[in-house]
Amino acid sequence: MDESVTTRRIVKLAHRNGLHLTPIQLLVKAVSDHSAVVRVHFGGKSANARSAMELMLLGATFGANLDLDASGVDAESALSAAEAVLSATGD
Amino acid sequence: MGFHLLQRIGSMQVRSGIAVSPGVVVGPALVLGSENFRIPNKFVSRDAVDVEIVRFNTALNQVCADIEEHEILVGEQLGSQYAAIFSAHLLMAKDPRLLTEVEAMIGEEAYSPEYAVSKVLRGLAEQMQNLGDEYLAERASDVFDLEKRLLRKLLGESREEIGNLTQPVIILAHDLTPGETATLNTEFVIGFATEVGGRTSHTAILAGALEIPAVVGLGRCLAGVSGGETVILDGDHGHVVIDPDEATLKRFRASQEHNNRVRVRLQSLDTVESETQDGQRVYIYGNIEFPEEVTQCINRGADGVGLYRTEFLYLGGNKEPTEEDHYEAYCKVLNACGDLPVVIRTLDIGADKVPARIRDRFADSQNPMLGLRSIRLSLQSTPLFKVQLRAVLRAAVYGDARIMFPLVSSLLEFRQAKMILMDVMEDLEDEGIPFRRDLPVGMMVEVPSAVILAEEFAREVDFFSIGTNDLIQYTLACDRSDPSVANLYRSGDPSILRMIQTVLEAGERNGKTVTVCGQMSSDPRFIPLLLGLGLRQFSASPHSIPRLKEVVRNISIPEAERIAAHACSLDLARDVEHYLLGELGRICPDLVV
């Protein structure tokens, strides 16, 4: 019955201004449409992808390699949605 | 890894700032944001935990609804770019981190929702401020905003403000405006500390006037403080301890009790004259900044005002003070003093207290302490100087006003200043405006050159007042606000004692009175020494007057002379100060903590 999967991928942050409010807002929204738990790891810190404040505190800048993992039934699609947001330039 | 939000809970935080108003107090913190919220309780009862969690959730939902409403409204009225501000707020309000953390603090540790919200959000804001990213540091203000919104909901109508206190508190704030400081209810506000501000900021000066222990310039440290924490505020040494451990608390409580006991006992001296055991009359004047402080001097039986600093007139508001502004202030002081002397010092704005308006005159000064300040500034800005002199001369009709020029370093400067004073008298005479012509004109002795030429100066001045703060700084070439050399700044340095002696002797030979008005004369340790050197006039901060009286009344001149002779035979500042402390302990054990 438990079809939960854990998956992981590395995404390069394409937003010029880094992980600021605009991409965070989009990321939170994208992840919240899924039931999977998504975490973003960067620079020895990790953040719940639903928590805007934790994401901000990662201090990720343009070009940062963000290490994403997700677990849950829709982990794969959650990560794809997250990647789509983070790898877009936002321009 | 992870976020150490709660790292400060239960752990002592010690901060050092600038001591601007003396006294040691212990009490609960009241952290003031711009809206002056106050967190009434740090904890709730265990039984109430579930109810409190519901109360928090309700408040959070209301805040989210409010923000959404604002977003729509602002979007319609101003456009979507402004509405985006609110979507950021909403994003934070809906952050699961906030919800889980606050619920855990209430549920597991029985913290009040107000305290938990404040602690969590301030902890996050603090981390944002410390990331070294300007953009994120600015987002911290959004977090503070959210905190305010939540507190407003949680506290509702019962929100307490500083005007509405019912128990003693120590105020911690980023900054207090002079207006806020002035209206502090001194019955309940037992001390305050601010993150910004300097020794000569308005707020600092007001604290001294209100006689509330205060420390300013702590640096950023309040983001993680919610209010309700116990705070020790040491306005004597400039320390603030937030959430102290038991041992620290005990130590400070003991010294606080002692100080209170002594203070109450010394109140009995308010009505008696300062006289040594062998009947030598000693004059103790007060140093003031504001006209209102005269009352504190008079109530303590001061013999007058030995130093009336006039800088506040220049630091307030955004325009240069008018002659009437000066005149009114001086009249107020003179009227309150009756027949007692009032020494008015002309503008002594230094590099550390330059108002924006005249800051450009200091432009590019590499070394402001040695630059254009005090009398130098007055002599180069004659119109500004004349305004002040006119007001002093006119007000002098109403009492025993004396005028004093600061930072005089050459005879020429003193002569120039006096010449301008004569010009002003002529102008007033021509205009038929009443003024007093024969008021005594003296100078501050605070530059070594003035000490070296004390004999020459003594022939031209009516009196000397030794400003030990600058004199020590200039003699020992050390900036006492620079921690790396502050240990060189010693009132007990033999060079300083000899300088004071030189000035006293020059004054004596020429029949001119000498006062010491620097911090040295507010320090009871130095009173026996100064008396022994021949000083009979002290000018000190109003609150230290009772202690000075106590020393004077417990010593005889021969004993003071013996102490001075021995102190002058020592060759290290440390030994001098140590010896004087020992002697004070013998004469007035109560004054030594």
- pLDDT tens digit string along A23-46? 998 999 999 989 999 999 998 999
Q: To the nearest whole percent, how much of chain B has pLDDT over 90?
A: 48
B343: closest CA among B303, B315, B379? B303
> Which residue among B221, B331, B517, B588 is the active-site one?
B517
User: Burial code of B518-542, b = ≥16 C-beta within 10 A, e = fewer?
Assistant: bbbbbbbbbbbbbbbbbbbbbbbbb
Contacts of B281 (CB under 8 A, 6+ apart): B273, B274, B275, B536
Asked whether B550 and B525 are in contact (CB, 8 A), the reply is no
Element (DSSP H or E) covering residue B559:
helix B557-569
Quote the pLDDT of residue B541: 87
Q: Mean pLDDT, to the nearest integer, of B181-202?
A: 77
pLDDT digits (tens, 9 = 90+) for B69-105: 877 877 776 667 667 767 878 889 999 999 999 999 9
Q: Which residue has the tokens 């007033």?
A: B428
Contact status of A54 with chain B (Cβ, < 8 Å): yes
Measured between beta carbons, the chain A residues lying within 8 angstroms of B133 are: 18, 59
Contact status of A9 with chain B (Cβ, < 8 Å): no
> Which residue among B89, B202, B239, B326 is the active-site one?
B202
Q: Mean pLDDT, to the nearest integer, of A60-64?
A: 90
CB atoms within 10 A of CB B558: 12
Contact status of B397 with chain A (Cβ, < 8 Å): no
Q: How far is A4 from chain B (nearest CA, A)?
A: 22
Between the alpha carbon of residue B588 and those of residues B262, B419, B552, B593, the distances in Å are 11, 47, 10, 11
Phi and psi angles of residue B167, each rounded to the nearest 5 degrees, phi first = -145, 160
- How far is it, in rounded angstroms, from Cα A60 to Cα A49? 13
Determine the length of chain B: 593
Hey, are the CB atoms on B3 and A28 less than 8 Å from each other?
no
Quote the pLDDT of residue B361: 55
What is the CATH T-level fold of the domain B39-158, as seen in this structure? Enzyme I; Chain A, domain 2 (1.10.274)
Quote the pLDDT of residue B259: 80
Q: Concatenated DSSP letters for B532-547? A: HHT--EEEE-GGGHHH
Pick from B95, B135, B139: CB nearest A51: B95
Q: How far is A76 from chain B (nearest CA, A)?
A: 22
More confident residue, B11 or A61: A61
- How far is it, in rounded angstroms, from Cα B375 to Cα B348? 7
- How far is it, in rounded angstroms, from Cα B18 to Cα B94? 40
Q: How far is A22 from chain B (nearest CA, A)?
A: 9
User: Is the predicted pLDDT of residue B212 greater than 60, yes or no?
Assistant: yes
Lowest-pLDDT range, B24-28, B53-57, B93-97, B217-221?
B217-221
User: Is the predicted pLDDT of residue B311 greater than 90, yes or no?
Assistant: no
Residue B555, SS3?
A: coil
Asked whether B57 and B220 are in contact (CB, 8 A), the reply is no
Q: What's the DSSP call for residue B22? A: -
Q: Mean pLDDT, to the nearest integer, of B405-428?
A: 97
Quote the pLDDT of residue A11: 93
Element (DSSP H or E) covering residue B447:
none
User: Is the predicted pLDDT of residue B2 greater than 60, yes or no?
Assistant: no
Q: How confident is the model at residue B8 (pLDDT cuts 50, 70, 90)?
A: very low
- How far is it, in rounded angstroms, from Cα B89 to Cα B71? 10
- How far is it, in rounded angstroms, from Cα B438 to Cα B412? 21
Quote the pLDDT of residue B10: 52
Asked whether B172 and B192 are in contact (CB, 8 A), the reply is yes
User: Is the predicted pLDDT of residue B405 greater than 80, yes or no?
Assistant: yes
Is residue B174 part of the annotated active site? The answer reads no
User: Is the predicted pLDDT of residue B309 greater than 80, yes or no?
Assistant: yes
Q: B449-463, B472-486, B533-547 — which one is most confidently predicted on average?
A: B449-463
Lowest-pLDDT range, A57-66, B38-47, B116-125, B414-423?
B38-47
Asked: is B309-439 a CATH 3.20.20.60 domain? The reply is: yes
Hey, are the CB atoms on B96 and A48 less than 8 Å from each other?
yes
More confident residue, A71 or B200: A71
Helices (H), B79-195: 80-93, 96-109, 113-129, 134-155, 178-182
User: Is the predicted pLDDT of residue B365 greater than 70, yes or no?
Assistant: no
Nearest CA in chain B to A42: B1
User: How far is C-alpha B570 from the chain's CA centre?
Assistant: 33
Quote the pLDDT of residue B9: 40
Hey, are the CB atoms on B124 and A53 less than 8 Å from each other?
yes
Quote the pLDDT of residue B440: 97
Contact status of B95 with chain A (Cβ, < 8 Å): yes
Element (DSSP H or E) covering residue B206:
helix B202-210
Hey, are the CB atoms on B2 and A52 less than 8 Å from each other?
no
The first and second tokens of residue B140, run together, are 């911290």
As a whole number, the mean pLDDT across chain B is 86
User: Is the predicted pLDDT of residue B284 greater than 60, yes or no?
Assistant: yes
Contact status of A25 with chain B (Cβ, < 8 Å): yes
Pick from A50, A57, A59: CB nearest B3: A57
pTM of the model: 0.63
Task: Say whether B443-593 and B162-260 share the same fold.
Answer: no
> Which CATH superfamily does the domain covering B162-260 fall into?
Phosphohistidine domain (3.50.30.10)
Q: Mean pLDDT, to the nearest integer, of B146-166?
A: 70
Hey, are the CB atoms on B97 and A51 less than 8 Å from each other?
yes
Phi and psi angles of residue B213, each rounded to the nearest 5 degrees, phi first = -55, 135
Region of B239 on the Ramachandran plot (φ > 0 left; ψ -120 to 50 alpha; else beta): beta
Q: What's the DSSP call for residue B364? A: T
Q: Which residues pair with B308 in a beta bridge?
A: B288, B344
Lowest-pLDDT range, B105-114, B255-264, B345-354?
B345-354
Is residue B202 part of the annotated active site? The answer reads yes
- How far is it, in rounded angstroms, from Cα B288 to Cα B542? 8
Quote the pLDDT of residue B360: 55
> How do the domains of chain B map onto residue ranges?
39-158, 162-260, 309-439, 443-593
Q: What's the DSSP call for residue A34? A: S
- How far is it, in rounded angstroms, from Cα B566 to Cα B574? 14
Quote the pLDDT of residue B362: 54
Nearest CA in chain B to A25: B91
Asked: is A5-86 a CATH 3.30.2130.30 domain? The reply is: no
Q: Which residue has the tokens 């012509």?
A: B437
More confident residue, B593 or A13: A13
Quote the pLDDT of residue B6: 31
Residue B363, SS3?
A: coil
Q: To the nearest whole percent, how much of chain B has pLDDT over 70?
A: 87
Prediction ipTM score: 0.92
Q: Mean pLDDT, to the nearest integer, of B481-491?
A: 79
Give the orientation angle of helix B80-93 with respect to helix B134-155, to 10 degrees.
Answer: 70
Q: Which residues pair with B286 in a beta bridge?
A: B305, B540
Q: Which residue has the tokens 């711009």?
A: B34
The first and second tokens of residue B315, run together, are 């630091």
User: Is the predicted pLDDT of residue B159 greater than 50, yes or no?
Assistant: no
Quote the pLDDT of residue B184: 74
Q: Which CATH number fits domain B443-593: 3.20.20.60, 3.40.50.720, 3.40.50.261, 2.40.50.140?
A: 3.20.20.60
